[in-house]
Amino acid sequence: MIPVQGFDGRKVMVLGLGRSGLATARALRAGGAEALCWDDGAAGRAAAEAEGFALHDPMAPGAFDAVAALITSPGIPHLYPAPHRAIAAAWAAGVPVDNDVGLFFRSLGLAGWDGLDEPPRVVAVTGSNGKSTTSALIAHILRTAGRSVQLAGNIGRGVLDIDPPESGGVVVLELSSYQIELARALTPDIAVFTNLSPDHLDRHGGMGGYFAAKRRLFSEGGPDRAVVGVDEIEGQYMANQLAEGPGDARVIRVSARKLEGPGWDLVTRKGWLAEMRKAKQVAAIDLRAVRGLPGAHNHQNAACAYGACRALGLAPKEIEAAFHSFEGLPHRSQRVAEIGGVSYVNDSKATNVDAAVKALGAFTRIRWICGGLEKEGGLAALAPAAGEVVKAYVIGREAAAFALKLGAIPHEICGDMATAVARAAAEAQPGDTVLLAPAAASFDQYDSFEHRGRDFMEQVGKLRG
């Protein structure tokens, strides 16, 4: 646990008592603060009471008297589409609002580091797609190289729930826009931006607000080094803002296109990763044989992880060796089975169109299981990427409406996962890939994308008889 510093003997309110909220309350208590807890759900309040925390209704009269800060969970809106009433009440009372990520950066380096031979480092990863794989891959590479590493944030443990890092240890954080946008302290040593595509637009008031939330990790924290995907205009803008000149090696640019200039660039083309310094190639890795990182989108993830690890001092050969032992993450281009010459791949995490487009580009002869709760922006971008789709099998409560937007893509309305897997398996030929890449959220039929992915895997398991 990282004890929260700066609130010893003071009252701090914690709003939202899920995984990160309870971890925050524990860390506040460990740092000498009095944590006052509240959740709109009875189960969350009961969990806090079971651990001996006092409940404190933020809407009660005088609720913010003598309260030093309000710490809110990332899922609770504070601006768009409308602030939670407790956050609005904190504003009215003049009480600062923060989150666990802000407390983490505020507290991490304040105690005990003067006795370490080598200060720990923090790598923070954000972006629309690929940040989980990139974060996990960075941690895997470091661990394989013998480095002390912890993975936390939007993946793994809560940021305040990790152990105090050892001398020379590395903390790898996956951070969502929700976690970044409210944090009052953001000071990673290395920050990674994978890419940007429309997502969470209602929460951020549009694409500009969404990008602004992501950008705070770089503009507020001033990382020593930034790894930036520049295949979208937002990444190009941010890389330019961060660099002091054309050869500024503090910014490592990542692209699937050839880059010009004297800086530090990582280019992924035709299955190869090339490291360029001052317009000269200094290392190259063949990614086509890396089974855990299939497709161009995973090659971008590999390049981002490579850049972060090179910035930490690892050699190209160390990184390349670790690539080959990386098995990937569940629900992200996860190879589930091969039955009768047909591959079954679970990419349930492809919850938006951009992620689905990248998944479709990683395989050939695809039997595509798609559908669910459609997000803003429509499905028009899917059609150009569907050249390898033999047929789509559409699931979801609004499967018929979703299917209408697939245009000329051959499709069948299946409704549920069991029907979709059975129909795809019945029609698949050896060499085909049955790919779950929904291009939609899961909440019309499932609790989460993980739940949806597990259902796919269970249905595939039944095919073995």
In a domain, 172, yes or no: yes
Is 133 annotated in a binding site? The answer is yes
Residues 268 and 137 both lie in one domain: yes
Longest CA pairwise span in the chain (Å) = 68
Question: Is the CB of residue 274 less than 8 Å from the CB of residue 252?
Answer: no
Same domain, yes or no, for 230 and 376? no
Domain boundary among 294, 324, 354: 324
Tokens representing 29? 């208590």
Same-domain status, 140 and 269: yes
- Please indicate, yes or no, whether residues 114 and 83 belong to a single structural domain of this protein: no
Whether 166 and 305 share a structural domain: yes
Residue 156 lies in a domain: yes
Determine the structural domain holding residue 442 and report its residue range: 334-460
Q: What is the pLDDT of residue 43?
A: 94
What's the CA angle centered on 354, arms 349 and 356, to 5 degrees?
A: 50
Q: Is the peptide bond before 81 cis (omega within 30 degrees of 0)?
A: yes
Q: Do 174 and 55 belong to one domain?
A: no
| 436 bridge partner residues | 346, 369
pTM for the structure as a whole: 0.86
Distance of alpha carbon 67 from alpha carbon 59, whole angstroms: 13
Question: Is 144 known as a binding-site position?
Answer: no
Residue 127, marked binder: yes
**Domain boundary, last residue among 324, 354, 384:** 324
The pLDDT of residue 298 is: 92
Tokens 């005088």 found at: 62
**Residues forming beta bridges with residue 415, ordered by sequence position:** 395
So what's the pLDDT on residue 111? Answer: 58
Q: Is residue 376 part of a domain?
A: yes
Collapsed DSSP state (helix, strand, coil) of residue 452? helix
Residue numbers of the chain with a pLDDT score lower than 70 = 110-114, 465
Residue among 140, 238, 201, 181 at smallest CA distance from 354: 201
Residue 135 annotated as lining a ligand binding site: no
| pLDDT for res 380 | 84
pLDDT tens by residue, 215-239: 999 998 789 999 999 999 999 999 9
**DSSP-assigned beta bridge partners for residue 370:** 394
Q: Is 20 annotated as a binding residue?
A: no
Q: Is residue 6 part of a domain?
A: no
Sequence-distant (≥ 6) Cβ neighbours of residue 185 within 8 angstroms? 102, 103, 104, 105, 106
Give the model's pLDDT for residue 465: 67
Cα separation of 227 and 223, whole Å? 10
* CB contact set of 416 (below 8 Å; sequence gap of 6+): 395, 445
Can you say whether the dihedral through the CA atoms of 316, 164, 152, 104 is positive or negative? Answer: negative
How far is residue 375 from each of residues 93, 353, 417, 453, 454, measured CA to CA in Å? 36, 8, 20, 18, 22
Answer with the one of 324, 343, 376 that is the final residue of a domain: 324
- Any domain includes 5: no
d(CA 355, CA 347): 9
Are residues 248 and 350 both part of a single domain? no
| Amino acid (1-letter code) at residue 175 | L
Q: Indicate if 28 and 73 belong to the same structural domain.
A: yes
Tens of pLDDT, residues 112-144: 666 788 889 999 999 998 999 999 999 999 999
Provide the CATH number for the domain around residue 148: 3.40.1190.10
Shared-domain flag, residues 65 and 132: no
Q: Are 455 and 417 in contact (CB under 8 A)?
A: yes
Question: Was 130 annotated as part of a binding site?
Answer: yes
User: How far is it, in rounded angstroms, from Cα 376 to Cα 374?
Assistant: 7
Packing angle, helices 316-324 and 131-144, rounded to 10 = 110
Q: Is 131 annotated as a binding residue?
A: yes
pLDDT of amino acid 110? 63
Euclidean distance between CA atoms 321 and 314, whole angstroms: 12
Write the CATH number for 81. 3.40.50.720
- CATH number, position 340: 3.90.190.20
| Alpha carbons 138 and 144: distance in angstroms, whole number | 10
Same domain, 216 and 357: no
Q: Specify the number of domains making up the chain.
A: 3
